[in-house]
Amino acid sequence: MATETITLKIKRGDGDGPSRWEEYKVPRQPMMNVISCLMEIQRNPVTASGQKTSPVQWDAACLEEVCGSCTMVINGKARQACSALVTELSPNDEPIVVEPMTKFPRVRDLVVNRQRMFDALKKVKAWVQVDGSHFLGAGPKVSQEDQEVMYPLSRCMTCGCCVESCPNYNDRSPFMGPQVISIVRLYNMHPSGKMQAGARLDALMGEGGISDCGKAQNCVKVCPKGIPLTESISVMGRETLKRALFGWLLKG
């Protein structure tokens, strides 16, 4: 039976300093998610044992699972705190355990710095090289079929769930992660994006690229947007192999 309060255990700490656990009790309301619990702690920063504390620091923006900001490890799983509903996490009053992601440098409490993911997008040239933003007429035609493949790939919000769950992504490895491989697939499909396909494939064949994937297949299971990451990895695996074998013939 659910009681009047929800218990949260939150891992806190500054930068690479030591961590500590704090426990909180917040009043239960209908339709609560982890974010509304954290908001409640801001309004009443007191631990379960009645000690005054500082509000927990956390990252959030849209609260509807499109911006990727509020990714945390909740009950052991990397996910967005906004779509983590209390009724699902704690149907029988179990405490909800909240930790920062472990694959990125911690800033403070639940806030981490995911710059490494954005740097990877730069490395693989994840953009269409347009001639400019001035008027150049309509864009290329795209079939409905291709759009239906590209649109889901384009929903990646660089949230970090996939790399958090990936055994090959860590601070000892240069692996750029599955999301980048999937983004290369997206840009290499676009009618004008594919004109720079070779350069992107080269980046995937370089340091931290596709050969660092250990095929654990965790990524696809945790992606909140259901992006077919393993399918992208296998498609790009074929493409990079083709380029490695015949690239010198195709002079791309």
Partner 1 sequence: MAAKSSILSSSGQVRRAIVVGGGLGGLMTVIKLCEAGIPVDLFSLVPVKRSHSVCAQGGINASVNIKGEGDSPYVHFYETVKGGDFLAHQPPVKGMADAAPGIVFMLDRMGVPFNRTPEGNLDFRRFGGTLFHRTAFAGATTGQQLLYALDEQVRRYESQIVEDDKGVSIPGEYMVRKFEFWDLCGLVLDDGGTCKGIVAQDLKNGEIRSFRGDGVCLATGGPGVVFGRSTNSIINTGIAAAIAYEQGAKYANGEFIQVHPTAIPGTDKLRLISESVRGEGGRVWVPKDRKDKRRGADIPEGERYYFLEERYPKYRNLVPRDIASREIFRTVFHDGYSAEGQQAAYLDVTHLCKTPTGKAAVRKKLEGVLEIYEKFVGEDPYENPMRIFPAVHYSMGGLWADYEKGADGSLKPASPRNQMTSIPGLYATGEVDYQYHGANRLGANSLLSCIYGGMVTGPAMASYREAMKSSAFDAPSTLFESEQKKRQAEYDTLLGRTGAEYDVNPYQLHHKLGEMMLQKVTVERHDKELDEVIATIKDYKSQWKRCAALDTTSRGTMNQSVVFLRHLRGMLEIADIIASGARQRQECRGAHYKPILDPELNPDNPKAKGRDDEEWLKTTIAVLENGGPRLSYEAVDVSLEPLAKRDYGKVTTSKPQSTGEAQRPADVKPLAKPEEPPSTRTTSES
Q: State whether residue 183 is helix, strand or coil.
A: helix
**Does 85 engage in binding with partner 1 (CB under 8 A)?**
yes
Residues 112 and 68: beta-carbon distance below 8 Å = no
**Does 30 engage in binding with partner 1 (CB under 8 A)?**
yes
DSSP annotation of 141 reads -
Given 2, 14, 23, 170, the residue binding partner 1 (CB under 8 A): 14
**Does 195 engage in binding with partner 1 (CB under 8 A)?**
no
**Does 51 engage in binding with partner 1 (CB under 8 A)?**
no
Cβ at position 142, least distance to partner 1 in Å = 6
| Contacting range for partner 1; rule: CB under 8 A; set: 5-13, 154-162, 171-179, 212-220 | 154-162
Measured distance CA(93)–CA(95) in Å, rounded = 6
Q: State whether residue 72 is helix, strand or coil.
A: strand
Nearest to 84 by CA among 99, 94, 92, 74: 74
DSSP annotation of 166 reads -
Residues 15 and 108: beta-carbon distance below 8 Å = yes
In the bound state with partner 1, the residue whose beta carbon lies nearer, of 77 and 241, is 77
In the bound state with partner 1, the residue whose beta carbon lies nearer, of 13 and 237, is 13
**Does 82 engage in binding with partner 1 (CB under 8 A)?**
yes
Which residues 97-126 are close enough to bind partner 1 by CB under 8 A? 107-108, 111, 113-115, 118, 121-122, 125-126
Nearest to 39 by CA among 96, 81, 72: 81
**Does 185 engage in binding with partner 1 (CB under 8 A)?**
no
**Number of residues counted as binding partner 1 (CB under 8 A):** 73
